[in-house]
A and B are shown apart, each in its own frame.
Chain A
Amino acid sequence: MDSRYKLFKSKIGNSRKVNNLNHNIMEERKDFLKEERQQEWRSELRKSIKAKERTDIPRVKMLEQDPFERAKNSAEVNQGLTEDMAFKEARRCLDCADPTCISGCPVGINIPKFIKRIESGDILEAAKVLKETNALPAVCGRVCPQEVQCEINCFYVQKLKKDPVAIGFLERFAADYERNSGKMSVPEVLERNGVKVGIIGSGPSGLAVAGDMIKWGYDVTVFEALHEIGGVLKYGIPEFRLPNEVVDVEIDNLRKMGVKFEINFIVGKTATVDDLKADGFEVFFVGSGAGLPNFMNIPGENYTGIFSSNEYLTRVNLMNAADEEYDTPVFSGKKVAVIGGGNTAMDSVRTSKRLGADNSMIIYRRSIEEMPARVEEVHHAQEEGIEFMNLNSPLEYFADDKGRVRSMKLQKMRLGEPDSSGRRRPIPIEGSEYMVDVDTVIVAIGVSPNPLIPSSMPELKMSDWGTIIVNKETMESSIPGVFAGGDIVRGGATVILAMGDGRKAAAGMHEYLKKNVLKK
């Protein structure tokens, strides 16, 4: 088995933790999925090749840009699968009677169905299947941690001890194929019912809500604080992992379905929820994200040259700071240290390399096995020559007379007993302090929920961590008709978990409106 799955199996074992996420969706859809599986085209396809032949095919390898070349450009690292590769990979899928993969998908994509559409050569149809439950398939195909979701639940991993079907690569393939075909299908929407739905924040959770609500006939408006739609997909995730163009096409698709977008609009500031209610909005979804970067609060952290990952990535991704034609500046450091071990840390450190750093380092207080980043990102970063300084933690920064950071004091760590997250706790080694020269530091140790919306709605019940408390089934907050999801509820998670929340919230909002508004 590929090392990345071994790594994850060692991390989360065989327990299908993620399954619980959408246990309900699975139960409800079981019969429907069974019926679909029994359709003639699928039965025929299953019988067309022996299972043994299918399982003998090795897992496809993603085409990638050469590590040396790509570290100098901002083009996408993963180049996608060719049609032949996708077709061959699709044949590996056994179209199981009990498709355990689906239970690992936070948005409940009908995985075997879309893969079998690819196998039968009907790729546009495969893309349609994706869009039945996922508003952003080309995005998810690129940024989902499939190795801990659908793919780890694949029959190949669970029973055959082999590499799983490359579900993520195939998702991306189908979505890209459709986009490049010029024949983008726009999902069908019900007749407009005139009920106004307000979505606060245009990141992944908000877009997922918009995708479902518009299908059900609502009048959907998404309010965005920044000047671009997409939230973290635009300001956070770099071009080399998720091109903006890909995001824009999916947003445009939502626009074609009838979703309205208002940019430069901060709910709570430009207008309050009460103002919007007076304007006829019946129900709200708060998906304002975790837009408040955490710092370590160690001496010297406010020297110049020390950024939050949010600031660094926003300057480069949203504001195009690396391009001289654009007015926003950014430091192109030569010795760059990124503090943290998540996806954002990987995005930051790889960005710094592309901006011309000679030496880009990851400083993480645990070992590589505990890193929360997607395995593929860690792997790509290693290939690109990123230095991994694991079991290290910064204690203090030092600057020159102008206040620009010049060095940092690190302390070595060792691993102790597992903590509440199940990961081994880092313990400082006394007397192990040493100095490292740096000219740029990016702090990527997580984010806290953005206080703007909650502070404008004092009656909203919040947790001690500043997240909005919701009913886990419906995603409704303490204020009737106000729902929430994504990082403002979770406090910092992934694109796909935010989208899962969005879908759940949309169902909750639909029920709420049926009960309280549509009947009247």
Chain B
Amino acid sequence: MNKIVEKELLSNNVVKLVIDAPRIAAKRKAGHFVIVKIDEKGERIPLTIADGDIKKGTITLIIQQVGVTSHKLMMMEAGDTIMDMVGPLGHATEIEKVGTVLCAGGGVGIAPMLPIARAFQEAGNRVICVLAARNKELLILEEEVRMCSDEVIIMTDDGSYGKQGLVTHGMEEVLDREKVNFAVTIGPAIMMKYAALTTKKYNVPTIASLNTIMVDGTGMCGACRVTVDGKTMFVCVDGPEFDAHKIDYDEMIMRLGAYEVEERAAYERFMKKTKV
């Protein structure tokens, strides 16, 4: 169990790992996540499941390198084993036939958005995806998203691919043009904040899938708490998806940075050690 069967670099800092995990593969649905602990001394981090294959008994995780653990994951190769992995956790996305669904994914958030877009299409919805990345190099999973969308709009910050602009520009283009019944946004917290403001203007019900700091992932620690509609919620057991118009994004961004200093120091120690 937990053996990496396939590794693919999607960009210079994003890796795709296909992992042998038959139990999780059998139960996972769009929106679920797993908690991963790489080795004896590793930390527990949540990763949203990007894809799964019941027959092969595998799940796919897509990881962007940001700190020690993601760096270690990037360095793992096919044949290596992840020491601990548990899931599937969280509530699955509620998929219904609603009409037209607008999916807005930014950066590595496109990975967890993919199964949700696919599920909405399979349920008979018209699916329009807006994918945003800083530049062409950093855009991931374009082909896969195209396979399950009726239309794809690509936005890059520098205009190196698709249209130049932010995810919200692409969303507005759609919202100005046609009736959208439901929206999904996944990506960096700041992006979700503005994506939610955009759909709010158009009165489109929207969910955001959150990826916060977690330890156990089962409700025990409360590290993942966010304020939704004025109430404290736990992303792990109450989420990871919430009404995007009611999330306190500023608090969430503040909490995501809780260990900035400690994490930077740990990363420097790690890089020093790895180089030696």
Contacts and interface: CB of A to CB of B under 8 A. Distances in A.
Interface stretch (A53-61, A164-172, A302-310, A498-506): A302-310
Given A227-B37, A325-B41, A329-B266, A291 B220 contact: yes
Interface residues of A, number: 42
Interface in B72-111: 83-89
A327 B220 contact: no
B219 A327 contact: no
A326 B23 CA distance: 28
A320 B259 contact: no
Contacts of B124: none
A272 B32 CA distance: 16
A265 B24 CA distance: 10
A227 B40 CA distance: 10
Given A304-B258, A308-B222, A319 B266 contact: no
B185 interface: no
Contact of A271 (B27, B251, B263): B27
A403 B259 CA distance: 12
Contacts of A264: 84-86
Contacts, number: 118
A492 interface: no
Contacts of A73: none
A266 B220 CA distance: 13
Interface in B227-276: 227, 232, 234, 237, 251, 254-255, 257-259, 262-263, 266, 269
Contacts of A235: 216, 220
A329 B259 contact: yes
B223 A311 contact: yes
Contact of A295 (B89, B223, B232, B269): B232
B43 A402 contact: no
B44 interface: yes
A148 to B, nearest CB: 27
Interface in B7-66: 23-24, 27, 37, 41-44
Contacts of B259: 329
Interface in A390-437: 402-403
B69 A402 contact: no
A248 to B, nearest CB: 15
A269 B218 CA distance: 10
B220 A310 contact: yes
Chain B interface category by residue count: 35 or more
Contacts of A227: 37, 44, 83-84, 86
A452 B37 CA distance: 21
Contacts of B255: 302, 304, 403
A330 B269 CA distance: 16
B27 A403 contact: no
Given A301-B232, A304-B255, A311-B215, A293 B220 contact: yes
A253 interface: no
B197 interface: no
A297 interface: yes
B221 interface: yes
A355 to B, nearest CB: 13
Nearest to B85: A264
B68 interface: yes
A402 B259 CA distance: 11
A225 interface: yes
A451 interface: yes
Interface of B: 23-24, 27, 37, 41-44, 68-69, 83-89, 215-216, 218-223, 225-227, 232, 234, 237, 251, 254-255, 257-259, 262-263, 266, 269
